[in-house]
Chain A
Amino acid sequence: MVLSALVLAEGDKPSVLLPATADLIWGTLSFVILLVFFSKYVLPTARKLANERADKIEGGLRRAEAAQAEAERLLEQYREALAEARTEAAAIRNAAQADRAHIIEEARAEAVAAATEISQRAHEQIASEQAQVMSGLKREVGEIAVDLAGRIVGEVLADDARARAAVDRFIADLERSAAEAGH
């Protein structure tokens, strides 16, 4: 009752605390318009904008991450390729060194073989020349001895079989005595 006394109009004056129907109608109109306006237009637009912005920023971050991963992958690839190249170079160097040693060894063996052959051939030649000289010498000495003995004995023993045999025996004796003296 106190409340109604407070809010009710005195006489025909309107009350401060009782709403006028027309004010309520116009207020409701404004409120409904703004409610629809914010719910259906402003906030969806603002949310869409915020989402697009977030998408763009996140998309940018994702792209940056992808680029970095790609760069790292490439770097890894280059490193692998470099390591491979280094290994290969080392292998080639080792092979070359091995080849060099092998080549030197071969050349040396070849040279030794050639030297051996040369010296052997020289020895053989010397031996054959010696044998030739010896046989020539033998004949000459024989002839000289026969000639000498003929002169001494006064008869020609040449072309005589006995004389020849005697000379040979003599020379053989000479050789034997020379050999015995040499030893």
Chain B
Amino acid sequence: MIRAMLMAAGSGFTAPNVDEFFPKAALFAGTAFRMTRINLIGLLMTLVVMVFFTIAFRKPQFVPRGIQNAGEVAINFVRINIVEEVLGKHGRAYEGYLSALFFMVLAFNVTGFVPGLQIAGTSVVAIPMLLAIVSWIVFNASGIRHHGLGHYLKANLFPSGVPAPIYLLVTPIEFISTFLLRPVTLTVRLLANMMSGHLLLVLFFSATSYLLFDATGFLKIFGLASYAMGFAFTLFEILVAFLQAYIFTLLTAVYIDGALSEH
């Protein structure tokens, strides 16, 4: 109906689509290293994370103040709420990896609502997929190193306490869920959240612009409503950016813990 009304207003409104996530190359066009603005945003955020923690721990004080305090809170969040909470005594060996994972995903996510950047570094499939594959390698390698390949596969594919014929059913399910679906769900969960968030923000704010400046009459009121929605979804995206980084890291920790545990 709205579309009909917009048509009636004689519009050239174009809703955002997935082309948003395939910007033109900004640098090195045509090479394997072609760089889009999303790649630039990723490198920028990598730098931001490094600068932040470098300044935070440059002259560590016994009593932390200011940015050091913020840096310690951030590091402690990952260590206490993810590493120690899930992995306990095994956790220390994975703290570096899980911290890098959390802060990379978080930093790449927040660019979705940073003015001037306006797109999440994680909204191209390569980033979530890359991190999901690394997580897959890490949890499997942990399990194999801890139990040996045979025992690890047996523990995962042939869980004890199940009658032998049921393995016909259980083993394929376990194989698919543990070894195939985990990286896929990690990838899709993060990617879909970041893509949909971006599309929603673009939709609401471009609609605001269109309705306020191009539409006529009472439709302008909907421009305000659209702006309000865009504002609300911006707040929501802040939550999602943090939440998805937390979930990705937490699930990776849970997978590692599952691979290390005895059954």
Contacts and interface: CB of A to CB of B under 8 A. Distances in A.
Interface in A44-81: 45-46, 48-49, 52-53, 56
Contacts, number: 106
Contacts of B100: 31, 34-35, 37-39
A42 interface: yes
Interface string B43-59: 10110011001100100
A56 B46 CA distance: 34
A18 B53 contact: no
B214 interface: no
A18 B125 contact: yes
Contacts of A13: 22
Contact of B62 (A21, A37, A53): A53
Interface stretch (A22-30, A101-109, A111-119, A124-132): A22-30
A49 B68 CA distance: 11
A28 B75 contact: no
A177 to B, nearest CB: 131
Contacts of B45: 30
Majority SS at the chain B contact face: helix
B34 A33 contact: no
Interface stretch (B128-136, B155-163, B245-253): B128-136
Contacts of A31: 100, 104, 130-131, 134
A22 to B, nearest CB: 5
B32 A25 contact: yes
Interface in B42-97: 42-43, 45-46, 49-50, 53-54, 57, 60, 62, 71-72, 75, 95-97
A28 B18 contact: no
Interface in B10-24: 18, 21-22
Contact of B53 (A22, A23, A42): A42
Nearest to B97: A35
Given A18-B125, A34-B104, A42-B99, 13 more contacts: A19-B124, A22-B33, A24-B129, A26-B33, A27-B131, A31-B100, A31-B130, A31-B134, A34-B103, A37-B50, A38-B99, A41-B54, A46-B71
